């Protein structure tokens, strides 16, 4: 693989639901080992973007290349081969509630990689320890854990197969500020140790500043600004300024009905 070739290269990505165009031509590159955070308001298409990259949704047009390989339209075994490169932390954790914690973490190793259960359990316990959870948690079921613990288990699951690319969908949503910081630290540590390429989507600016090398803002179905995290405060873009300062007044209008 060419060193300068992006890990993920997206060109002209569009996706509509009925008459509503959510993505109107996304162009985005993510370099190897880079942590990119995509920010944007609710309903701007951040989750749709991630789902298109993961093959959970089929884009209407455009190209998504992983390590230079076109992935749009891949199915079956080809898709599963590409998916082995990915880890994903879902917004609601998406833990399998019928399985104990350790089996959730080791799921990809058992079902995806065909590892024996005992071996997968050893890996799962190590990954749980890496996110600060002891072996006593391993036999519990997800419903018995707090929201923060569930997020940590989901993070352990996302890194269990030591993926080359990790996606984080709203990793701190619904957590208190301290637990959010714990999760941000764990994300930085895990991504750093694995040397993985990371794509996160969030509206939590504190989180974005902590975990990003680079930030891109999505608005109106397009990437309207991207740059290093240090440049976000001097972006010169009114939309970005309004968003990062959380102002109601500005070019981004929320459809709010009067009382």
Partner 1 sequence: MAFLQAIGHTFLNGVETLGRLILFALDGLLAIVRPPYYPRLILKQMIEIGYYSLPVVGLTAVFTGMVLALQSFTGFARFSAESAIPQVVVVSLTRELGPVLAGLMVAGRIGAAMAAEIGTMRVTDQIDALSTLSTNPMRYLVAPRLLAATATLPFLVLIADIIGIFGGYIVSIYKLGFNPGIYIHNTLSFLEPLDVISGLVKAAVFGFMIALMGCYHGFHSRGGAQGVGGATTNAVVSASILILISNYIVTELFFAR
Residues that bind partner 1 (CB under 8 A): 51, 54-56, 76, 80, 83-84, 86-88, 90-92, 94-98, 107-108, 111-114, 157, 161
Please say which residue, 112 or 251, places its beta carbon nearer to partner 1: 112
Please say which residue, 114 or 236, places its beta carbon nearer to partner 1: 114
Residue 13, SS3? strand
- Minimum distance, C-beta of residue 50 to partner 1, in the bound complex (Å): 10
* Helix ranges, 134-176 (H): 135-138, 147-159
Please say which residue, 154 or 232, places its beta carbon nearer to partner 1: 154
d(C-alpha 77, C-alpha 49), whole Å: 22
Closest by CA position to 211, among listed 221, 222, 220, 199: 199
Closest by CA position to 202, among listed 38, 33, 9, 51: 38
Output the CA–CA distances (angstroms, integers) from residue 165 to 20, 126, 215, in the order listed: 30, 20, 17
Query: Which strand (E) or helix (H) includes residue 83?
Result: helix 76-83
- Minimum distance, C-beta of residue 35 to partner 1, in the bound complex (Å): 19
- Minimum distance, C-beta of residue 49 to partner 1, in the bound complex (Å): 14
Please say which residue, 166 or 223, places its beta carbon nearer to partner 1: 166
- Minimum distance, C-beta of residue 121 to partner 1, in the bound complex (Å): 15
- Minimum distance, C-beta of residue 212 to partner 1, in the bound complex (Å): 22
Neighbours of 173 (CB within 10 A): 15
- Minimum distance, C-beta of residue 159 to partner 1, in the bound complex (Å): 12
Beta strands in 203-252 (DSSP E): 214-219, 222-228
Query: With the C-alpha atoms ordered 138, 169, 162, 210, is the resulting torsion angle positive or negative?
Result: negative
Please say which residue, 11 or 85, places its beta carbon nearer to partner 1: 85
Query: With the C-alpha atoms ordered 166, 92, 221, 253, is the resulting torsion angle positive or negative?
Result: negative
- Minimum distance, C-beta of residue 55 to partner 1, in the bound complex (Å): 7
Q: How would you label 106-126 residue by residue, b for 16+ Cβ within 10 Å and e otherwise?
A: bbbbbeeeebeeeebbebbbe
Please say which residue, 113 or 181, places its beta carbon nearer to partner 1: 113
Please say which residue, 90 or 219, places its beta carbon nearer to partner 1: 90
């Amino acid at each position: 693989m060419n060193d300068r070739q992006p890990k993920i290269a997206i060109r002209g990505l569009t996706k509509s639901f009925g008459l509503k165009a959510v993505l109107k031509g996304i162009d985005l590159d993510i370099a190897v080992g880079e942590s990119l955070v995509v920010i944007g308001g609710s309903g701007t298409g951040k989750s749709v973007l991630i789902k298109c990259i993961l093959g959970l949704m089929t884009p209407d047009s455009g190209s998504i290349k992983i390590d230079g390989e076109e992935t749009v339209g891949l199915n079956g075994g080809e898709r599963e081969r590409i998916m082995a490169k990915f880890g994903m932390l879902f917004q609601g954790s998406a833990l399998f509630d019928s399985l104990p914690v350790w089996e959730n973490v080791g799921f990809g190793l058992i079902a995806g990689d065909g590892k024996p259960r005992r071996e997968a359990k050893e890996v799962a316990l190590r990954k749980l320890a890496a996110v600060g959870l002891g072996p006593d948690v391993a036999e519990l079921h997800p419903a018995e854990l707090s929201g923060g613990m569930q997020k940590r288990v989901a993070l352990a699951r996302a890194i269990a197969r030591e993926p080359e690319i990790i996606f984080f969908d709203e990793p701190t949503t619904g957590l208190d500020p301290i637990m959010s910081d714990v999760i941000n630290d764990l994300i930085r540590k895990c991504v750093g140790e694995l040397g993985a390429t990371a794509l996160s989507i969030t509206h939590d600016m504190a989180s974005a500043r902590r975990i990003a090398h680079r930030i891109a803002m999505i608005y109106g179905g397009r990437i309207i600004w991207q740059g290093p995290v240090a440049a976000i405060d001097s972006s010169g873009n009114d939309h970005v300024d309004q968003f990062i300062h959380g102002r109601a007044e500005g070019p981004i209008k929320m459809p709010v009905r009067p009382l």
